[in-house]
Amino acid sequence: MALLRLTVKNIVDKKFRFLLTTLAVFLGVMFTSGVFVFTDSLRSTFGDLSGDIESGYDLAVRSEIPFGQRLQAAPVPLDVPDQVQEVDGVAAVQPRVIEFNIIPLRADGEAAQAQGPNIGVNWEDMSPDSRLFLTDDGVSRPPAGPDEFTMDVDAAAEDDFVVGERYRVQSADAGIVELELVGTFSFADPEENALVGAKLVAFDTATAVSLLNDGRGYDDVTVFLDEGADPDAVSAAVSDQLPEGLEVVSLEVLVDEQTDNFNTIVNQFQTFLLVFASVILLVSAFIIYNTFTIVIGQRIRELGLLRALGATGKQVTGTVIGEALLVGVVATVAGIAGGIGLAAFLQWLLARLDFGPEGVRLPMEPRTFVLSAVIGIGITLGSAIWPALKARRVSPMAALRDDVRLTSHDVARRPAVGGLLVAFGVAAAAIQFVIDRWELILLLSPLAAVLIYVGTSRIDPLLARFSALALGSVLLIVALVADLGTSIVLTLLGASALIIFLGVNLLSPLLARPAAQAIGRKPTAVVMGIVGAVLGAATLALLVLTVTQVAEGTPAAILLLIPTAAVGFAAYLAVDVVPAGFRVNGLMARQNAARTPRRTASTAAALMIGLALVSAAAVVAASLKATFRDTLNDSVAADWFVWTGNGDPNAAFSNQVAVDLAQLDETTEVASYRFADEAFRTTDDDKIHDSLAADLSTLERHLDPDFVELDRSLLGPTATLVHEDFASDRAMGIGSTLEVEFIDQSVETLTVAGIYTDATILGNRVIDLELWDAKFSATQDQFVSALSAEGFGEDEVRSAIDTVVVDYPQVRAQTKSEFQDDQEQQVDNFLIVINVLLALAIVIALLGVANTLALSVFERTRELGLVRAVGMTTRQMRRMVRFEGVIVSVFGGVLGVLLGVVFGLAAVAIIPDSFINQLSIPVGQLGLYVVLAAIAGLVAAYFPARRASRLNVLEAIAHE
Amino acid sequence: MTTLSPSTPPGAGTAPHPAARAVGASKVYGSGDTAVRALDAVDVEFEPGRFSAIMGPSGSGKSTLMHCMAGLDDLTEGRVYIGGTDLTELSDHELTLLRREKVGFVFQAFNLVPTLTAIENITLPLDLAGKTSDDGWLDQVIGTIGLADRLSHRPSELSGGQQQRVAVGRALASRPDIIFADEPTGNLDSRSGSEILEFMQHAVAELGQTIVMVTHDPNAAGFSDRAVFLGDGRVVSELVDPTADAVLDRMKSLGD
């Protein structure tokens, strides 16, 4: 009981320390639980939405597809509804048509584009339970005939569509059509339009079939049963009536499929975010470990006193564990609350962006609470356990003597036991390659690392320090060279990264002393001065920008003052710290960093992890861009690229664009491209492959994939071009055949007409457009390329192309170099998303730097008082602490960048050549990261430095 | 000599300033019923070029007096001067600069920065001020403390006596107007303590320094040129050229 009181008192006394430690865990738990609550809410929203989208009817008739996307399925023949209507027990049938990328044009000619998809459907005029509710505004009526359309009420309001006016609408097959808007409607719910970010237009059924499905049929036919009819019996009866290739399914099946579709996306999103959550938690673990180690070092006399007064080692460990437990519980409770808040905020944000339903819903799955608690409390306890075990070894003598240090005790050397443990560790590491399960790798790799570390430390402590790095490197090399599945390789990469981080952390105390001595010198200070000058110039520029913007009547520009102030503050800190490089306070700063190499190393380690990941991402992105640039230079032969350019793989536009472009005098050879994720299934191994469809005969002149061999005589509708890897995997050569099944269940034998080496743009397989048209119902183009005709300048061709695409405002015409810039921009955008997420890990690492500095300021109170007494000014004191922050951060930054380059190289080596075949290390960018780390160190040191400079000299000298 | 905001004390005339002076110096801790008057209108002067001792039992206010006169603590009432400078009118920053340039310190323990070598500790105030000593003074100081072969050692590698010699060396290095020593021998055995005290005597006699030492040890006070006795926050007595026995006798008589 007394010890519990002591634990509580320790926390109450050291609120600042407790707060910072808790904050680190809190942020990790908040992010994790926020991800769960948010993705659960997405699932539940989409679950409801699926129920809204698919409702009212009992059965549906549709094409049977063995795999692939339903949108690309063959249409249901036009006579099916009549046949189904004849079946006993059927009350009504409603054929349905749906097509994406059906966009109405506003009065000013701009596309009324949705945040989500733009969808075209048919008016459900035969349905007793239509999902479309006509707006009761006195003017709206359902569309009738080929000259009319309706749209959802929110889209109409947003883009100022007026009922009664005529508008142009992009169709799938007929290009632009001009129709009269005859009404607006609400989807699924007459009160509230249930379209999450989508915009909807509706035509009468016959018009929809012709505009959206090229007159070929319906997407499905829904069936409403008579009261009391037996669904199974009716279903069987309908089934008997249907021609080959159609199937009958129940409403439940459709709702489930719809939900599954959504959930697949949500799950991927969730995994992606959880990866970042783990990074954050890993960084938090380092901070907790560090804090508890330092704190026990500081409390060593007190712990010694406890021992002298009769506390057992167990009890001493208990007080430390108790403190960790409290930190963990408080952080977890606050973190879960914060996570719920975060989820609510994200929902609000999505609703504001028109991408989600109004009103916040926060599903609290027990899983969220259990996992958050296990993670939050588990990580805190796990990180504090080592320091706590050390605490029990504090001797009672510590209370009586001044010079006791917490030393890592010498492990008795027992080579036999050690050897056995190492053998177990190696076995654990080896076993994971035999059992091909990624979950086991996550479990076995760290276990192997611990076993090998503990084992080697029984043989030789120095050897033990190298053990984790060695194991991590071996795993990395195995991941690189062995022929393993993608998920195994990725897990192995992650596990090896984790173990290498631990390995470097074991080794970096050996590095910290010389590194701190090397970093804490004039050159660093001079660089900080230059950085400060640059930031100062940037501040001025921002200030000028703000003033001019405000003067030009953009009052919101005043908000620019926030980044201006931030940059200015960083500039001040950077310039201010310069004198430390030349004075004794700088010497003291580097001596302090070198004094406790272990602490400096593990503080730096937290920062190292964040920067390693950011740097690895930078190396991968730079290599990706280099690959793109290379490919685009080598293989892009066409002069013009016409596409939506927004990176959405499903964005497509009417095939009329290509037809119209081909009519121009200024262009020759217009080529269309379409892509399917699940294009066909190779019948011998039942594997489903993606494929591009293009005009094979002209491909070389547009997108040259660098053919190893191309036999033009083999080209034709059933010809295919394949990447050399795909060819070699299947031992195919020119003239080889490939039997594949398409989504419409037809089987074709394709002939390999060409083998190429560059998969960056084309992917691994290309089939002929003619074959596509025969097999897929989706006929819109995703991409069109064209050559300039002889004798026309770029501007002339551009204005000619613009006359065609002007009706498709979402479609852009780009030259080769514009296309190239666009592609690179997309890589950059992706990198920004990654960096923003990793920034949170770095922010937490900075809390760690601040915490360590604050603790070491506290630890050195008397020393600081002394130097103040003999004439160190408050400003020199602040510079000293800040310079130490810079030293620690630069050390972590440099380690992180170096490791990041290694991981980046590994990732580039693992990623298939079809994505990345060039290696590029962005030296400038990585250098910038180190500079940013230095600035971050300055910011982290701000409060500890302030605290140090405000110490009362007399009290400090008297401080025990 | 007074380069730092000279403000001549009233009645000082043209005579040279005392090295340090307190006029009606009072220090009260707390307020109301719990107020403790640590210093009660103390008037005292310390002449340049002399080795003075402030004596008194625990709680007599001797340390408070030293802290206030050295600019480490502020007074509740009254004024203190270093040379011609009125400390009570200086800002915290000016006080820091004054300590750096005109005042040297020797504390009882924990006198040195553990991460700096002996020589780096000695030159610390100079380095903080960005000054280099080029007139041979530093060599003279180093020669006097007699640790030439241990200058590159860290404090942890020096004995307690050696550490205090380095501390005195540091106090001398910036050639301050006055050095305050707070129980400089408190943590030393008697032999090392005597060495330090002799060394301080030597610094006053040979190098012309001014030292004010706070101590409760009559033996230590016996090394000084003049001993001022404090009791209950007041100056109660004074001895010129004291011996240890004389100090002990005086303390006994004051205690009665």
- Chain A nearest-CA distance from B99, in A, is 5
Q: What are the pLDDT digits (tens) for A839-877?
A: 877 888 888 888 888 888 877 888 888 888 888 888 999
Q: What is the DSSP string of A509-530?
A: HHHHHHHHHHHSSHHHHHHHHH
The confidence band for A398, taking pLDDT boundaries of 50, 70 and 90, is low
Length of chain A as a residue count: 960
Mean pLDDT for the stretch of residues A181-207: 87
Look at residue B6 in the predicted model and tell me its pLDDT.
40
Query: Which residue has 């810079």 as its token pair?
Result: A886
Of A13-17, A302-306, A347-351, A368-372, the range with the lowest mean pLDDT is A13-17
For A953, the closest chain B residue by CA position comes to B72
Look at residue B15 in the predicted model and tell me its pLDDT.
52
3-state secondary structure of A892: helix
Look at residue A411 in the predicted model and tell me its pLDDT.
55
CB contact under 8 A, A867 and B124: yes
Task: Please give the DSSP secondary-structure letter assigned to residue A103.
Answer: -
Mean pLDDT for the stretch of residues B10-22: 66
Mean pLDDT for the stretch of residues A318-346: 90
The confidence band for A629, taking pLDDT boundaries of 50, 70 and 90, is confident
Residue A308 has pLDDT above 80, yes or no: no
* Nearest Cβ partner for A871 among B92, B113, B128: B128
CB contact under 8 A, B120 and A863: no
Residue B13 has pLDDT above 50, yes or no: no
The confidence band for A469, taking pLDDT boundaries of 50, 70 and 90, is confident
Determine what percent of chain A is predicted with pLDDT higher than 90. Answer: 26
Own/partner pairs, A17-23, CB within 8 angstroms, 24+ separation: A17/A291, A17/A295, A17/A851, A17/A854, A17/A855, A18/A327, A20/A291, A20/A847, A20/A850, A20/A851, A20/A854, A21/A287, A21/A288, A21/A291, A21/A327, A21/A851, A22/A327, A22/A330, A22/A331, A22/A334, A23/A331, A23/A847
Q: How far apart, in whole angstroms, are the C-alpha atoms of residue A903 and residue A149? A: 55
Residue A737: its H or E element: strand A737-742
Question: Which of B110, B124, B133, B182 is the mutation pick for testing A, counting most A CBs within 10 A?
Answer: B124
Is B215 an interface residue toward A (CB < 8 Å)? no
Residue A536 neighbours by CB distance under 10 Å: 17
Q: In chain B, which residues have their Cβ closer than 8 Å to the Cβ of A584?
A: 116, 120, 123-124, 127-128
CB contact under 8 A, B125 and A588: no
For the packed helices A942-949 and A923-940, what is the interaxial angle rounded to 10 degrees?
40
CA A27 to chain centre: 18
CB contact under 8 A, A863 and B110: yes
Look at residue A147 in the predicted model and tell me its pLDDT.
93
Mean pLDDT for the stretch of residues A619-625: 88
Is B72 an interface residue toward A (CB < 8 Å)? yes
Tokens of B147: 């640790």
Look at residue B5 in the predicted model and tell me its pLDDT.
39
Query: What is the b/e burial string over A893-921, where b = at least 16 CB atoms within 10 angstroms of the residue's CB?
Result: bbbbbebbbbbbbbbbebbeebebbbebb
Determine what percent of chain A is predicted with pLDDT higher than 70. Answer: 96
Mean pLDDT for the stretch of residues A495-516: 86
Mean pLDDT for the stretch of residues A578-586: 84
CB contact under 8 A, A587 and B120: yes
| Interface residue ranges in chain A relative to chain B, Cβ cutoff 8 Å | 583-585, 587-588, 591-592, 594-595, 862-863, 866-874, 876, 953-954, 957
Q: Do residues A752 and A738 lie in contact, with contact meaning Cβ atoms separated by under 8 Å?
A: yes
- Chain B nearest-CA distance from A15, in A, is 26
More confident call, B11 vs B224: B224
Going from the C-alpha of A885 to that of each of A288, A851, B127, the distances in angstroms are 18, 11, 21
Q: What are the pLDDT digits (tens) for A211-227?
A: 888 888 999 999 999 98
Is B35 an interface residue toward A (CB < 8 Å)? no
Look at residue B50 in the predicted model and tell me its pLDDT.
92
- Chain A nearest-CA distance from B246, in A, is 31
The confidence band for A426, taking pLDDT boundaries of 50, 70 and 90, is confident
More confident call, A14 vs B20: B20
Look at residue A263 in the predicted model and tell me its pLDDT.
87
CB contact under 8 A, A874 and B92: yes
CB contact under 8 A, A866 and B113: yes
Q: In chain B, which residues have their Cβ closer than 8 Å to the Cβ of A953?
A: 72
Look at residue A3 in the predicted model and tell me its pLDDT.
64
Please calculate the CA angle A613-A616-A617 and round it to the nearest 5 degrees. Answer: 85
Q: How far apart, in whole angstroms, are the C-alpha atoms of residue A824 and residue A629? A: 8
The confidence band for B9, taking pLDDT boundaries of 50, 70 and 90, is very low
Going from the C-alpha of A361 to that of each of A45, A125, A262, A366, the distances in angstroms are 8, 34, 17, 16
Residue B23 phi/psi, 5-degree rounding, is: -125, 115
Mean of pLDDT over chain B? 84
Residue B172 has pLDDT above 90, yes or no: no
Q: How far apart, in whole angstroms, are the C-alpha atoms of residue A746 and residue B181? A: 101
Using only C-alpha atoms, chain A has a radius of gyration, in whole angstroms, of 33
Is B100 an interface residue toward A (CB < 8 Å)? yes
Please calculate the CA angle A141-A143-A145 and round it to the nearest 5 degrees. Answer: 135
Mean pLDDT for the stretch of residues A271-276: 84
Query: Which residue has 């060409």 as its token pair?
Result: A754
Residue A570 has pLDDT above 80, yes or no: yes
- Chain B nearest-CA distance from A513, in A, is 13
Mean pLDDT for the stretch of residues A329-340: 93
Determine what percent of chain B is predicted with pLDDT higher than 90. Answer: 16
Look at residue A268 in the predicted model and tell me its pLDDT.
86
Residue A710: its H or E element: strand A707-710
Look at residue A405 in the predicted model and tell me its pLDDT.
54
CB contact under 8 A, A584 and B123: yes
Tokens of A484: 């393993």
Residue B11 has pLDDT above 90, yes or no: no
Look at residue A401 in the predicted model and tell me its pLDDT.
57
Residue A653 phi/psi, 5-degree rounding, is: -150, 165
Q: In chain A, which residues have their Cβ closer than 8 Å to the Cβ of B125?
A: 870-871
Q: Do residues B55 and B215 lie in contact, with contact meaning Cβ atoms separated by under 8 Å?
A: yes
- Chain B nearest-CA distance from A575, in A, is 18
For CA atoms A724, A730, A734, A738, the dihedral sign is: negative
For A587, the closest chain B residue by CA position comes to B116
Q: What are the pLDDT digits (tens) for A157-176?
A: 988 999 999 999 988 877 88
Using only C-alpha atoms, chain B has a radius of gyration, in whole angstroms, of 18
Mean pLDDT for the stretch of residues A44-68: 84
CB contact under 8 A, A862 and B170: no
Phi/psi class of residue A946: alpha, beta or left (left: φ > 0; alpha: ψ in -120 to 50)?
Answer: alpha
How many A/B residue pairs have CB atoms within 8 Å?
75
Q: How far apart, in whole angstroms, are the C-alpha atoms of residue A255 and residue A257? A: 5
Mean pLDDT for the stretch of residues A559-565: 88
Q: What are the pLDDT digits (tens) for A792-838?
A: 888 999 999 999 888 888 888 999 888 888 878 887 888 888 888 77
CB contact under 8 A, B127 and A584: yes
Give the CA count within 13 Å in the CB-facing half-sphere of A319. 27
CB contact under 8 A, A588 and B107: no
β-pairing verdict for B211-215 and B51-55? parallel
For the packed helices A656-663 and A794-805, what is the interaxial angle rounded to 10 degrees?
140
Max avg pLDDT among A187-196, A568-577, A625-634, B186-195: A568-577
For B113, the closest chain A residue by CA position comes to A863
Tokens of B207: 């190098």
Look at residue A732 in the predicted model and tell me its pLDDT.
92
Q: In chain B, which residues have their Cβ closer than 8 Å to the Cβ of A863?
A: 110, 113-114
Tokens of A201: 């237009």
Q: How far apart, in whole angstroms, are the C-alpha atoms of residue A330 and residue A507? A: 33
Of A411-425, A557-571, B178-192, the range with the lowest mean pLDDT is A411-425
Q: How far apart, in whole angstroms, are the C-alpha atoms of residue B190 and residue B205? A: 22
Length of chain B as a residue count: 256
Q: How far apart, in whole angstroms, are the C-alpha atoms of residue A903 and residue A891? A: 18
Look at residue A96 in the predicted model and tell me its pLDDT.
93
Question: Which of B67, B113, B164, B166 is the mutation pick for testing A, counting most A CBs within 10 A?
Answer: B113
Read off the amino acid at residue A526. V
Look at residue B3 in the predicted model and tell me its pLDDT.
40
Q: How far apart, in whole angstroms, are the C-alpha atoms of residue B96 and residue A135? A: 79
Task: Please give the DSSP secondary-structure letter assigned to residue A104.
Answer: B
Q: How far apart, in whole angstroms, are the C-alpha atoms of residue A563 and residue A569? A: 10
Look at residue A597 in the predicted model and tell me its pLDDT.
85
Look at residue A356 in the predicted model and tell me its pLDDT.
65
Residue B1 has pLDDT above 60, yes or no: no
The confidence band for A739, taking pLDDT boundaries of 50, 70 and 90, is very high
For B167, the closest chain A residue by CA position comes to A870
The confidence band for A355, taking pLDDT boundaries of 50, 70 and 90, is low
Mean of pLDDT over chain A? 85
Q: What are the pLDDT digits (tens) for A479-499?
A: 888 777 777 787 888 888 888
For A586, the closest chain B residue by CA position comes to B128
Chain B 159-178, residues with CB within 8 Å of chain A CB atoms: 170, 174
Is B125 an interface residue toward A (CB < 8 Å)? yes
Is B129 an interface residue toward A (CB < 8 Å)? yes
Of A417-421, A920-924, B79-83, B85-89, the range with the lowest mean pLDDT is A417-421
Question: Minimal CA–CA distance to B241: which of B204, B193, B191, B209?
Answer: B204
Tokens of B236: 């109660």
Please calculate the CA angle B11-B16-B21 and round it to the nearest 5 degrees. Answer: 65
Is B110 an interface residue toward A (CB < 8 Å)? yes
Question: Minimal CA–CA distance to A61: which of A251, A202, A258, A211?
Answer: A251
CB contact under 8 A, A871 and B170: no
* Nearest Cβ partner for B116 among A591, A872, A873: A591
Q: What are the pLDDT digits (tens) for A816-828?
A: 888 888 878 887 8
Please calculate the CA angle B187-B189-B193 and round it to the nearest 5 degrees. Answer: 80
Q: Do residues B132 and A878 lie in contact, with contact meaning Cβ atoms separated by under 8 Å?
A: no
Look at residue A836 in the predicted model and tell me its pLDDT.
82
Look at residue B12 in the predicted model and tell me its pLDDT.
40
Residue A303 has pLDDT above 90, yes or no: no
Residue A596 phi/psi, 5-degree rounding, is: -120, 75
Q: How far apart, in whole angstroms, are the C-alpha atoms of residue A854 and residue A239? A: 75
CB contact under 8 A, A954 and B115: no
Q: What is the pTM of this model?
A: 0.77
Q: How far apart, in whole angstroms, are the C-alpha atoms of residue A216 and residue A234? A: 26
Q: What are the pLDDT digits (tens) for B72-123?
A: 888 899 999 998 889 889 888 888 888 888 888 888 876 788 888 888 888 8
Q: In chain B, which residues have their Cβ closer than 8 Å to the Cβ of A872?
A: 96, 100, 128
Of A2-16, A272-286, A332-346, the range with the lowest mean pLDDT is A2-16
Mean pLDDT for the stretch of residues A625-631: 82
3-state secondary structure of A812: strand
Look at residue A491 in the predicted model and tell me its pLDDT.
82
Of A282-291, A669-678, A764-773, B72-81, the range with the lowest mean pLDDT is A282-291
For A590, the closest chain B residue by CA position comes to B115
E strands, chain B, are 20-29, 36-46, 51-55, 77-82, 85-86, 103-106, 178-182, 211-215, 226-231, 234-240
